Structure 1
Amino acid sequence: MKRRGLQCAGWLLATLATASVYAATTPAPVTPMTPDVIEHYDQVRPTADFIKRVEMIPMRDGVRLYTVIFMKKGTKNAPILLSRTPYDAKGSTERVASQKLTEVLPAMDAPFVDDGYIRVYQDIRGLHHSEGTWVMNRPLAGPLNDTGIDESTDAYDTIDWLVKHVPESNGKVGVIGSSYLGFTTLMAEINPHPALKAAAPQSPMVDGWRGDDWFHNGAFRVGGFDFAVGMSQNKGHGGSIPHGVGDDYSLYLNAGSAGDYAREWGIEDVPFVRKLMENPAYTPFWSLQAVDQWMAKRPLTVPTMLIVGQWDQEDSYGGPAVYKAVVDSKLRKAPVTLVIGPWRHSGVNHYGYDLGALTFTGDTAAEFRTRYLKPFFDHYLKGGADPHTPGAITYATGANHWDESPRWPVGKPTPLYLTADHRVSFDKPAAAAHDDYVSDPAKPVPFIPRPINMGDPFQWKPWLVHDQRFVSDRPDVLAYEGQPLTQPVHIMGAPAVELHAATSGSDSDWVVKLIDIYPNTSPEPAREGSKPSMAGFELPIGIEIFRGRYVHGFDKPQALTPGKVETYRFALPNVDHVFLPGHRIGVQIQSSLFPLYDRNPQTYVSNIFNARPADYQPATQSVYRGGDEATRVMLPIVQ
């Protein structure tokens, strides 16, 4: 009886325990008024092929940064590939609700995570889920930043935490990212953590005045206002300027000056908008923020692959500028490679089959990532074979093949002159002359055909390869073209403009385009729904603008003397291009590229952002050719 009693007691206890567990794990019954809200749903199910961790990594000043860590299950002794972003680390890594890591992460990550890399994304301070205060392109600690905290120190602290707290890591870290992430990648290389072994800045923001996002040679890119307003609100989740839909050409033209536009839409007190409007010249505000100048003063100790698109519509300047700053530096202790692909901005991370009307031989972006980018990281982060990465890797558009070169630029500067009858020639004209046109700020030259919507990716991303015939017959555009080529002309470098010109006004913008003019025949006619015929296509190889007031120094704006011939020297973007036999080389010159760039009133005012309606006046522009004032484009021709 005693034994049976014990058995009954044990059964009762087990039953009670089971009931207790069941009660603890069974949710309360729902009723019609049960709130239909849950605290959290974990999208990473037990069947997922990956591990995801979210960490708030502390910086040296106590601020914590939101960081997402991904790896395939079973990963060990693996390198870390880090991206530091202002564009929402959480959203960037939740592209698709899936249990496959290669579907969750961006496409360019797939070869890395499939090969055992640990992938890390982090919100930079002050944005999205990170703590702290955000400053646009936060300056390096120094004259413009007395806090001792910058993107370099944050990268150092992040890497230090990762190699100490991610047990699956082999202790080696690479950084990668495009555009703003290209900027943060470069910053990680300044005073780098010892665990940082390789870096690939893509289309990096380097000098916002000389030729990246905000200005080009002093001409303001009005889209900077929209970016500033969006990023400045709600920790980067802000809305755009509410000007509705319609033709941006009319929108900005009717507003008046860029400053008038800012005031009309109530954004003039947004801090970065104020910084733009109060610093129209290349003052220390800009020159002391130039990343290439920071890097030129420090030893490069991290192997670096600088990547840019040949038709990068946002940041064509930065990558080549950093390469130039460090390649010949006596301080350099690590290899550096410049990559130029046939892509738009950040195109290296997407499909590279085509761009606008152009079609390439296969997916050039995937080919580059497989052939060059991953072996580069594998060597420095995993001990893979030395890929012997050359000093320059560039894609020869026109001929459609990759070129490997020991350094950049490759071509020899060779002058291409403007001549009579709107021709170009490699022979210098003896007789001096000039061609004139009237530039009217009331009728600026559009940068793409109207109606223009700069927020439309199908207009914005490929605009640099748009057929230039849409403006070639305008009276305020000078169009020059050569004879059909009998042999290929291969250029590798940045074509350099030497423009001799005068204006009847007291200020002026000058836009120069280098163009590949296709034969006016086509082996295959255009088909409905397909790409257009290339017959007679005028493909821009490089387009750049120069604000005339800076002809004697970017930090010394001054009025132009009406009628005085000035010499304007500036570079077009770096290219690798082959002008094929039967094609013609063309040059176009104009004085506006609107509304991509704000209008020059053509009357000198101390700050163009504050130009009044009466300041906008037509001017006669004279472009000189021949003799001592022979306008030319120096083509970097491969002999």
Structure 2
Amino acid sequence: TEVIVKGGYIRVVQDIRGKYHSEGDFVMNRPLHGALNPTPVDESTDTYDSIDWLVKNIPETNGKVGILGISYDGFLPLMAVINPHPALKVSVPMNPMVDGWMGDDWFHNGAFRAQNLPYIYEQEATRKNDEKWWTDHFDDYDLYMEGSVGDIGRSHGLEQVGFWKQILAHPAYDSWWQEQAMDKILADQPLKVPLMLVHSLWDQEDIYGAPAVYKAIKAKDVNNDKVFLVLGPWHHGQEIGDGSSLGAIKFNSDSGLYFRENILAPFLAHFLKDDAPKLDVAPVNAFQTGTNEWERLRSWPSGCDSGCAPKTTPLYLNGNLKLSFSEPKRGDSAFDEYVSDPAKPVPYRARPSQPVGYTGRLTWPQWLVDDQREASGRPDVLAFTSEALKDPVKISGQPMANLVASTSGTDSDWVIKLIDVYPDEVAGDEEMGGYQLMVSADIFRGRYRESLETPKAITPDKPLLYRFALPTANHVFLPGHRIMVQVQSSWFPLYDRNPQTFVPSIFWAKPENYKKATQRVYHAPGQESFIDLPMVKE
């Protein structure tokens, strides 16, 4: 808001179709007109009509329009650039919802984000969001242990809600999800409107979206002047607030204010103001966590000044829970194992598990930077740790998990966390001694190992390769720090429990389907487990 007010812009805020004072019916992430949406309207046409009315009816306008928003409102600036109005000169999607199955609000690699049930309920139950989700549990862990997600949804009447019906009908990455994934849609669209994609490195809601769109459309930007990317050290939406810290992690300056004053303000001015100055904003502005410095880059990911790609370097899991850049040796232990029990799933953060939210006592925005010592001491979590680093290790891009693992069950989830372990003593900040900071982490539902579209039972006790990307990182592991990789099979209750026996739909798993399983993580020659790190030489 301060950028808009200080810049002298005319600010227009509009309710989306079907919510609050807007007419029509609300449809969650309404797809483009077509096979998934037979009506003549979508968010692209609604934006076009709104812009058309504004430029014709507001005499103070110079005829140049920009659109920006966060989260769901970040999805709308992406829709706006499809068949855009001629007056639309710039679009700023911040933390946008892009692909709800691959890694934004609803699923991550097939694992459903159970704690978003209240959001679905409240968004769709009434026009004004005045019908609230209810629970008699203080701890969400206890609430979601009461049964399958389908059963919990049914107990709250969610089957009356259209979007929930669609989720129940589409647990796999079928055409219903693929055809409304904004990165795939925009890859097939001409690039007409400049965009600034804003991404939070610890976005606890939409950590997939902005980098995925950048990757999908950047090749169209032949002059490197239409697609811009910002990577900040923030939680979801923190770029419009105080960016000096996140949880216990301090950034030595207000990174949010820097973004607004030095990146967003001149960007908007260049495209929207008459006689605007030449643009002095780099194509990529990336905050480097660990060193707490902003980088101005030509492209992303960037391994050198000319924009070359970072070199992929494997970081191997080894015997005795060691982590090393050296491959496993013959004669060392071939695997480590743990028992995963759906009756006692691993909490994704220290209990009590708070609901998703931003008000009062809730600390939901900071959970991705919680100290992971809460998990590393559990018997159902493997923690592989390197020696203390002698030199800095910088990564820029997406780490890639390559996990060779087996389960005694017929389905399984795999959670991989890449962690920066602080020294036992941190000068000037004793509370950070030994802190375990998650740099990048995600979950993968094993039934989709062979195909994201067609689930398949896992062969018990057979070592199999699970390969999946972790979220974007721009981090330096400093000398004296150690690198850790944690492996576990539940992340509850943020993600629903895998029963660990193959059933047609986990949404409707029965109590008798939930069974313990022995999980083995292999680290032997020919069965190496490793994280491909996008390393950059300093």
TM-score, normalised relative to structure 2: 0.95
How much does 1:240 deviate? 2.3
How much does 1:227 deviate? 0.7
Conserved 8 A contact 2:125-2:161: no
Conserved 8 A contact 1:229-1:238: no
How much does 1:525 deviate? 5.7
Alpha-carbon separation, structure 1, partners of 2:102 and 2:76: 19
Match of 2:216 in 1: 325
Alignment of 1:470-485 (within 5 A): 470-485=374-389
Q: Cα–Cα, structure 1 residues 567 and 378, in superposed 2: closer, same or farther, change >3 Å?
A: same
Alpha-carbon separation, structure 2, partners of 1:306 and 1:361: 24
Alpha-carbon separation, structure 1, partners of 2:278 and 2:208: 29
Conserved 8 A contact 1:496-1:635: yes
Match of 1:595 in 2: 493
How much does 1:554 deviate? 0.6
Conserved 8 A contact 1:624-1:631: yes
Flag the structure with more relative contact order, 1 or 2, with Cα contacts below 8 A and sequence separation at least 6.
Answer: 2
Match of 2:63 in 1: 171
Deviates more, 1:116-125 or 1:232-241: 232-241
Match of 1:442 in 2: 343
Conserved 8 A contact 2:386-2:483: yes
Alignment of 1:372-451 (within 5 A): 372-382=263-273, 383-410=275-302, 411-431=310-330, 433-451=334-352
How much does 1:614 deviate? 0.5
Alignment of 1:69-84 (within 5 A): none
How much does 1:310 deviate? 0.4
Conserved 8 A contact 1:479-1:586: yes
Alpha-carbon separation, structure 2, partners of 1:288 and 1:554: 14
Alignment of 1:221-236 (within 5 A): 221-236=113-128
Q: Which has the larger radius of gyration?
A: 1
Unmatched runs of 5 consecutive residues or more in structure 2: 303-309
Match of 1:281 in 2: 172
Match of 2:307 in 1: none
Counterpart code for 1:130 = S
Counterpart code for 1:445 = V
Q: Cα–Cα, structure 1 residues 456 and 323, in superposed 2: closer, same or farther, change >3 Å?
A: closer
Q: Name the SS of the counterpart of 2:521 in structure 1.
A: strand
Alpha-carbon separation, structure 1, partners of 2:33 and 2:488: 41
Match of 1:607 in 2: 505
Q: Name the SS of the counterpart of 2:151 in structure 1.
A: helix
Counterpart code for 1:607 = S
Match of 1:626 in 2: 524
Counterpart code for 1:363 = D
Match of 1:261 in 2: 152
Conserved 8 A contact 1:516-1:541: yes
* Residues 189-227 of structure 1 deviation map (CA, whole Å, 9 limit, x = unaligned): 111111111111000000000000000000000122111
* Residues 108-167 of structure 1 deviation map (CA, whole Å, 9 limit, x = unaligned): x12322221111110111110011111000001122111121000011111111111110
Alpha-carbon separation, structure 1, partners of 2:52 and 2:156: 44
Alpha-carbon separation, structure 2, partners of 1:165 and 1:385: 28
Counterpart code for 1:602 = Q
How much does 1:448 deviate? 0.5
How much does 1:245 deviate? 4.2
* Residues 555-583 of structure 1 deviation map (CA, whole Å, 9 limit, x = unaligned): 01010000122211111111111111100
Q: Name the SS of the counterpart of 1:498 in structure 2.
A: strand
1:492 is aligned to 2:396: yes
How much does 1:523 deviate? 2.4
Q: Cα–Cα, structure 1 residues 441 and 448, in superposed 2: closer, same or farther, change >3 Å?
A: same
Query: Aligned residue pairs: how many?
Result: 524
Q: Of the candidates 366, 369, 379, which is equivalent to residue 257 of structure 2?
A: 366
Counterpart code for 2:334 = A
1:239 is aligned to 2:131: yes
* Residues 265-305 of structure 1 deviation map (CA, whole Å, 9 limit, x = unaligned): 22222221111112111111111110111100011111111
Match of 2:354 in 1: 453
Alpha-carbon separation, structure 2, partners of 1:351 and 1:343: 9
Unmatched runs of 5 consecutive residues or more in structure 1: 1-108, 527-532
Q: Of the candidates 140, 147, 154, which is equivalent to residue 32 of structure 2?
A: 140
Conserved 8 A contact 2:225-2:283: no
Alpha-carbon separation, structure 2, partners of 1:175 and 1:330: 20
1:114 is aligned to 2:6: yes
Q: Cα–Cα, structure 1 residues 455 and 365, in superposed 2: closer, same or farther, change >3 Å?
A: same
How much does 1:552 deviate? 0.6
Match of 1:521 in 2: 425
How much does 1:490 deviate? 1.0
Q: Name the SS of the counterpart of 1:438 in structure 2.
A: strand
Q: Name the SS of the counterpart of 1:138 in structure 2.
A: coil
Q: Of the candidates 380, 400, 406, which is equivalent to residue 502 of structure 1?
A: 406
Alpha-carbon separation, structure 2, partners of 1:386 and 1:146: 44
Q: Name the SS of the counterpart of 1:122 in structure 2.
A: coil
Alpha-carbon separation, structure 1, partners of 2:239 and 2:123: 24
Q: Cα–Cα, structure 1 residues 525 and 409, in superposed 2: closer, same or farther, change >3 Å?
A: closer
Runs of 4+ in 1 over 3 A off after TM superposition: 329-334, 455-458
Alpha-carbon separation, structure 2, partners of 1:194 and 1:580: 48
Counterpart code for 1:167 = P
Alpha-carbon separation, structure 1, partners of 2:496 and 2:314: 31
Alignment of 1:9-158 (within 5 A): 109-158=1-50
Q: Name the SS of the counterpart of 1:121 in structure 2.
A: coil
| Identity across the alignment (%) | 50
How much does 1:331 deviate? 9.0
Alpha-carbon separation, structure 2, partners of 1:239 and 1:564: 48
How much does 1:334 deviate? 5.8
Counterpart code for 1:479 = A
Conserved 8 A contact 2:266-2:280: no
Counterpart code for 1:549 = R
Q: Cα–Cα, structure 1 residues 628 and 268, in superposed 2: closer, same or farther, change >3 Å?
A: same
Alpha-carbon separation, structure 2, partners of 1:331 and 1:209: 30
* Residues 26-74 of structure 1 deviation map (CA, whole Å, 9 limit, x = unaligned): xxxxxxxxxxxxxxxxxxxxxxxxxxxxxxxxxxxxxxxxxxxxxxxxx
C-alpha RMSD of matched pairs (Å): 1.5
Alpha-carbon separation, structure 1, partners of 2:424 and 2:367: 22
Counterpart code for 1:547 = R
Alpha-carbon separation, structure 1, partners of 2:200 and 2:5: 25
Counterpart code for 2:351 = R
Q: Cα–Cα, structure 1 residues 171 and 317, in superposed 2: closer, same or farther, change >3 Å?
A: same
Counterpart code for 1:635 = L
Alpha-carbon separation, structure 1, partners of 2:270 and 2:222: 23
Q: Name the SS of the counterpart of 2:173 in structure 1.
A: coil
TM-score, normalised relative to structure 1: 0.80
1:297 is aligned to 2:174: no
Q: Cα–Cα, structure 1 residues 612 and 618, in superposed 2: closer, same or farther, change >3 Å?
A: same
Q: Of the candidates 449, 469, 486, which is equivalent to residue 373 of structure 2?
A: 469
Q: Cα–Cα, structure 1 residues 371 and 557, in superposed 2: closer, same or farther, change >3 Å?
A: same
